[in-house]
Amino acid sequence: TALLLCLNSRPGNQWAAHATAHEQLAHSHGHGQRRGSMGLLEEDTSPAQSDPGDAINQIHILGERHSGTNFMKTLLLQNVDLGSVNVSDALCGFKHDYQDPSSDECRGLGLGRAVVIIMLRNPYDWALAMHRRCWCGGEAVWDRMAALPFDQFLERPFVESSLKPWTGEQEMSPCGSVMQCRAIKYLHFLNLTTWVPNVEAA
């Protein structure tokens, strides 16, 4: 968090949009917390009001490639009661993709009883991991990307991993760079808080 705040404070920094998204997402939903007079999150000590019929029964893990989604899924599968809670690495689409609330996959999910976990990784380590293996377009593309000098990899146009549903596009469109794709993806994940009641950043 401190690293992303520093990045966000630099004028014109290409990662500012991602840093802002990270900070807003990390603080947009907090269990047992409320906003105080200064707008800061404080512990909410008021008695909990809950209905057993509203208990969380599904956890969905989303995030960019190389962000720890596999680790989080494994951790949850080993530590939650799988008889009462379903753990999935998809929501309205695959975990790395843009999520479309109007899609068939999203209908009937019962999002009021779901928690969506957005996995975040600092941009430096993430960019290095993407350079080593971008998970974009197959092994021939991975090898070609990895062979580029790191600065060229960061500066070249980068094709997204999924369609952007709000554009109506029929083919995956490129971003100006891999970091721009990352920023757009996480701003999209931040927007989940407008239609999913329980979103957490990890």
172-201 confidence digits (pLDDT tens)? 888 999 999 999 999 999 899 999 999 999
How many CB atoms are closer than 10 A to CB 128? Answer: 12
pLDDT number for residue 51: 53
DSSP bridge pairs for 19? none
Helices (H), the chain: 2-8, 16-28, 69-79, 123-132, 139-147, 150-155, 178-191
pLDDT number for residue 22: 44
Give the CA dihedral 52, 56, 32, 67, nearest 10 degrees. 170
Specify the 3-state DSSP secondary structure of 95: coil
Q: Residue ranges per domain, the chain?
A: 14-27+52-201
Residue 49 to residue 46: CA distance in whole angstroms:
9
Question: Who wins on pLDDT, 108 or 45?
Answer: 108
- When pLDDT is cut at 50, 70 and 90, the band that residue 107 belongs to is confident
Question: 0.85 cut: is pTM over it?
Answer: no
